[in-house]
Chains A and B, each alone.
Chain A
Amino acid sequence: MTLEKVNSSVMFSTADQRLLDDIYETAYYRVARQVKKYGGDAEDAKDVLHDALIILMKQRARQTPIESELHYLIGIAKHLIHAKIRKRANERQSVELPEIAEEQTTGFASQTRITKLVMTAGKRCLDLLTAAFIEKKPLAVIVNEYGFSSEHSASVRKYKCLEKIRERVKTNGMSYEDFFE
């Protein structure tokens, strides 16, 4: 599985669907106009809107108090547009050294390489690990969603999945330099 080929198995909650409907009605055109103003195209507008929506949905999941979700989203979108423009300008300037630029931003080791290896773990493992460690769903919910026979078997499976990725990264993805340079 590559970054470009991640299939979605995400189901939006009713509350999220309502939010999406509202945001499309009230914010999509405003975000698109901003994107256009800075030289972006329709695909950029969709991209920026979706990235801003993901941030808003994460804040909702954390129950962060937000006075106006519309204003919050527009503010995030403006920030994302500027970041996109800066990134594009940097890419144009460093087009001859893309790999070096990427490594420098990830610091300790090559995060890009590790992320690519994580993506090879298989959908079931990735979905399980994401539910457990990123969405932080309770084990009882994971047992139900993934059809495990018990919390123990779900727990063992998630650690086995992590172990599989860890071994794969150690075998294929790490060189001495990744850790010590």
Chain B
Amino acid sequence: MRTSLNEIKLIADYLDGNLNPDDRLVFEARLLLEPELSLNVSLQKQIYLGLEEYHHQRIKAALSNWHDEIMANPGKINLRNRILNLFK
């Protein structure tokens, strides 16, 4: 892989706790010496947070579809009516 991809893989392994103790120590020393690497670690963490939000929204969309299906199910008419009455 290209150098930049190798760096991204190394950061991913570091963030996932997949580096062995020696490699981790070396990586953490590099973080102190290389501001650009430190910046890239922070950025990758934030990209993961963005991905978590994407995943959350994706599951919510699936739950919303499920909700629509279940509330349209004739077998759930009692539940639907109880909810409707509650918010009348």
Contact = CB atoms under 8 A, between A and B. Distances in A.
Interface of A: 3, 6-12, 20-21, 24-25, 28-29, 32-33, 36, 41-42, 45-46, 50-51, 53-54, 57, 108-109, 111, 114-115, 117-119, 126, 129-130, 133-136, 155-156, 159-160, 162-163, 165-166, 169-170, 174, 179
Interface of B: 1, 4-5, 8-9, 12, 16, 39-40, 42-44, 46-67, 70, 76, 79, 82-84, 86-87
A33 B86 contact: yes
Contact of A32 (B56, B61, B87): B87
Secondary structure dominating the interface of A: helix
Given A54-B60, A119-B54, A41 B49 contact: no
30 contacts: A8-B61, A8-B62, A10-B61, A10-B62, A20-B63, A36-B87, A42-B86, A45-B83, A51-B60, A54-B60, A111-B49, A111-B50, A114-B43, A118-B51, A118-B53, A119-B54, A130-B55, A130-B58, A134-B55, A156-B1, A156-B5, A159-B5, A159-B12, A162-B8, A162-B12, A162-B44, A165-B50, A169-B47, A170-B43, A179-B42
A115 B50 contact: yes
A169 B57 CA distance: 21
A29 B44 contact: no
A6 B58 contact: yes
Among A25, A36, A159, the one with the most B-chain Cβ atoms within 10 Å of its Cβ is: A159
A170 B36 CA distance: 12
A54 B56 contact: yes
Nearest to A127: B58
A119 B58 CA distance: 12
